[in-house]
Amino acid sequence: MKAHEGIYIDGAWRPAAGQDVIEVVNPVDEQVIGTVPAGTALDVDTAVRAARTAFPGWAATPPAERAARLAALRDVLVARKDEIAETVTAELGSPLPFSQAVHAAVPIAVAASYAELAAVHPFEEKAGTSTVLLEPIGVVGAITPWNYPLHQVVAKVAPALAAGCTVVLKPAEDTPLVARLFAEAVHAAGVPAGVFNLVTGLGPVAGQALAEHPGVDLVSFTGSTAVGRRIGAVAGGALKKVALELGGKSANVILPSADLARAVNVGVANVMSNSGQTCSAWTRMLVHRDRYDEAVELAAAAAAKYGDRIGPLVNAAQQARVRGYIDKGVAEGARLVAGGSEPPRERGYHVSPTVFADVTPEMTIAQEEIFGPVLSILRYTDEDDALRIANGTVYGLAGAVWAGEDAEAVAFARRMETGQVDINGGRFNPVAPFGGYKQSGVGRELGVHGLAEYLQTKSLQF
Ligand code: NAP
Ligand code: MG
């Protein structure tokens, strides 16, 4: 157990205003592994002032120099990648190989992409006879969740710094240690004092203070739809810009011409990965009625293989929530073909990889985000039926389409109300814009589209 001291403000670790701390728990054995300060509104105010003071200087720093700092940041993250993976494993509970391959490697790829983009992005364009300047929006309040704890931090901070914005980050209370490591990396990369600030704390205290602070120009939030809605209302009321990455209930549409075994196996892996704690997970598998029974058998067999390979959920509340959804699925008449709500181990916040068959579109488990290793398999009769089911939730974050030919899958994907679709398996692309249609969010992260969120335009007429 280590008591981690201080919050990172204006280029230094300083004591928080109050004495309260947050306990960090290892979800595998439920042991407290450390504490961090629970920052308050006073700490947030100090951090926002530092960010405001640093803003004019950073905004005026040539993009090439900002790019150089981001390249240095990427290099520090690369040098500390093992420590990043170990830290995420300790506070999130994900197996170490997954932490290395995803929780450490993906943020490094994203930091690298913004180091490159900042160097080449045209921060000036022409519109007829006018010159349009793309200027940083100001001070960013970033509020992040625990499920991809470093990725979600880098996906906000890297484009914000590339754009010339300054940042105050409030990371999730469950995963503050990797956020502290990130602050050390920013410091080591030579980013000037005040450009990046970290206040660990509780959502309704530090998070809310940050979202409400009049010195914040843009609130960028990733997390639950419930909190996102409140933040959107608060920020909208203050006429601040807001970016929201919220929940999902994404559809994995397997068309009749698809390679069924491949589509089902990749689909199950997609849901079980990170113990199902992925906002873009393909939690609804849509299969034609003629191939339905075969798909259910394949999925149950695939899920059984994941038994010991996935980690626990992040905390007891998430475990209880996911178990409650599994019970609800059974109560509403879905057929359990793998897993169930009984925890597979006594210690740790584990939930078994679970697959439901005979799920109908109006069931709770087909409509609400569960955020655990739970797959629902739905039956469709024809393509229009599949589309109606795929588009039949309030969400629209991601999805997948499988078909014999890419063109057939693309034609279907064009009709989907969702922000990202993987065609026949796809491939992770750190510069592809990511974000939601409908209630999955507002705005986009990653790549040029992610950078644009942090810029505002000024046009000069001659
Ligand atoms: P959450 O409460 O929305 O947490 C996300 C972030 O917002 C955390 O930093 C949180 O702080 C902060 N926060 C909480 N209340 C706030 C408030 N009133 N004002 C400002 N910030 C606030 O999500 P959660 O409770 O951790 O997870 C609940 C559910 O949200 C999950 O089951 C899942 O369905 C969904 N979720 C979605 C994503 C995604 O990537 N889209 C990520 C995580 C969770 P604390 O850490 O102190 O709560
Ligand atoms: Mg919360």
E strand or H helix that includes residue 210: helix 208-212
pLDDT tens-place string over residues 386-425: 999 999 999 999 999 999 999 999 999 999 999 999 999 9
What is the arrangement of strands in the sheet containing 196-198, beginning at the earlier edge strand?
12-14, 7-9, 196-198, 166-170, 139-143, 218-222, 241-245, 441-442
Q: Does domain 251-430 have CATH number 3.60.9.10?
A: no
Q: Which ligand is nearest to the CA of 314?
A: 1
Measuring from atom 15 of ligand 1, which residue has the nearest CA?
203
Distance from the alpha carbon of residue 217 to the mean position of ligand 1, in angstroms: 21
**Residue 64 in contact with residue 119, Cβ under 8 Å?**
yes
- pLDDT higher than 90, residue 112: yes
Which architecture characterizes domain 2-246+440-460 according to CATH?
Answer: 3-Layer(aba) Sandwich (3.40)
**Which atom of ligand 1 sits closest to the CA of residue 228?**
3
Tell me the average pLDDT of the chain: 98
Instruction: Return the C-alpha torsion angle 106, 186, 198, 99, nearest 10.
Output: 30
**C-alpha 227 to ligand 2 mean position (Å):** 8
Q: Does the annotation mark 245 as catalytic?
A: yes
Ligand nearest to the CA of 175: 1
Tokens of 459: 């046009």
Q: DSSP class of residue 191?
A: P
pLDDT grade, residue 306 (50/70/90)?
confident
Give the pLDDT confidence score for residue 308 in this predicted structure: 72
Ligand 1 atom with minimal separation from the 202 CA? 47
Is residue 40 within 8 Å of residue 200, measured between CB atoms?
no
Strands (DSSP E) found in 271-387:
284-288, 335-338, 354-359, 374-380
Radius of gyration of the chain (CA): 22
275 has pLDDT over 80: yes
Question: Ligand 1, residues 143, 153, 367, 445: which to mutate, most atoms within 8 A of Cβ?
Answer: 143
| Residue 66: per-residue pLDDT | 98
Among residues 338, 343, 339, the alpha carbon closest in space to that of 312 is found at 343
Q: Which of 86, 91, 212, 245 is catalytic?
A: 245
The ligand that comes nearest to the alpha carbon of residue 24 is 1
Which H helix or E strand runs over 366?
Answer: helix 364-367
Q: From the alpha carbon of 211, which atom of ligand 1 is closest?
A: 20
Could you give the C-alpha distances from 344 to 103, 133, 316, 336, in angstroms and in order? 25, 57, 14, 16
**The predicted structure's pLDDT at residue 62:** 98
The total of other beta-carbon atoms located within 10 Å of residue 328's CB is 16
Which of 224, 319, 365, 418 gets mutated to test ligand 1 (max ligand atoms within 8 A of its CB)? Answer: 224
All CATH 3.40.605.10 domain ranges in the chain, comma separated: 2-246+440-460
For ligand 1, atom 44, the nearest C-alpha belongs to: 223
Q: Which atom of ligand 1 is nearest to the CA of 146?
A: 43
Would you give the distance in Å from CA 433 to the centre of its chain?
13
What angle, rounded to 10 degrees, do the helices at 260-272 and 292-305 form? 40
Residue 340's pLDDT is 97
Q: Could you tell me if 355 and 370 are in contact, meaning their C-beta atoms sit under 8 angstroms apart?
A: no
Residue type, 176: P
Q: Are 187 and 11 in contact (CB under 8 A)?
A: yes
CB 366, CB 330: distance < 8 Å:
no
Cα of 90 from ligand 1 centre, angstroms: 20
Tokens of 25: 């728990």
Question: Which residues form ligand 1's pocket by a CB distance below 6 Å?
Answer: 143-147, 170, 172-174, 202-204, 207-208, 211, 222-224, 227, 230-231, 245-247, 279, 318, 321, 369, 371
Q: What percent of the chain is modeled with pLDDT above 90?
A: 99
User: Which two structure tokens, joined as six digits, stand for 416?
Assistant: 């989907």
Residue 394 CA to ligand 2 center (angstroms) comes to: 21
In angstroms, rounded to a whole number, what is the distance separating the alpha carbons of residues 217 and 187? 23
The model carries a pTM of 0.98
pLDDT value of residue 222 = 98
Nearest-CA residue for ligand 1 atom 48 is 203
Distances (CA, A) of 70 to 56, 139, 366, 405: 18, 18, 41, 40
pLDDT band at 9 (very low <50, low <70, confident <90, very high): very high
Residue 140's SS3 state is: strand
CA of 204 to the centre of ligand 1 (A): 10
Q: Give every CB contact of residue 122 below 8 A, 6+ residues apart in sequence.
A: 134
Instruction: Give the residue whose CA is nearest to atom 12 of ligand 1.
Output: 203
Q: How far away, in angstroms, is 203 Cα from ligand 2 center?
A: 6
Rounded Cα–Cα distance for residues 240 and 211 (Å): 9
Which tens digit of pLDDT belongs to each residue from 36-69?
Answer: 999 999 999 999 999 999 999 999 999 999 999 9
| Lookup: tokens for 64 | 């090439």
Please identify, by atom number, the ligand 1 atom nearest to the C-alpha of residue 318: 32
pLDDT band for position 253 (50/70/90)?
A: very high
The structure tokens listed for 323 are 């178990």
CATH 3.40.309.10 residue ranges of the chain are: 251-430
Q: Residue 236 has which token pair?
A: 């909208």
User: How much distance in Å is there from the Cα of 92 to the middle of ligand 1?
Assistant: 14
* Res 453 pLDDT > 80: yes
Give the residue, by CA position, lying nearest to ligand 1 atom 42.
223
pLDDT digits (tens, 9 = 90+) for 147-172: 999 999 999 999 999 999 999 999 99
pLDDT band at residue 309 under the 50/70/90 scheme: confident
Q: Where are the beta strands (DSSP E) in 69-155?
A: 124-127, 130-136, 139-143
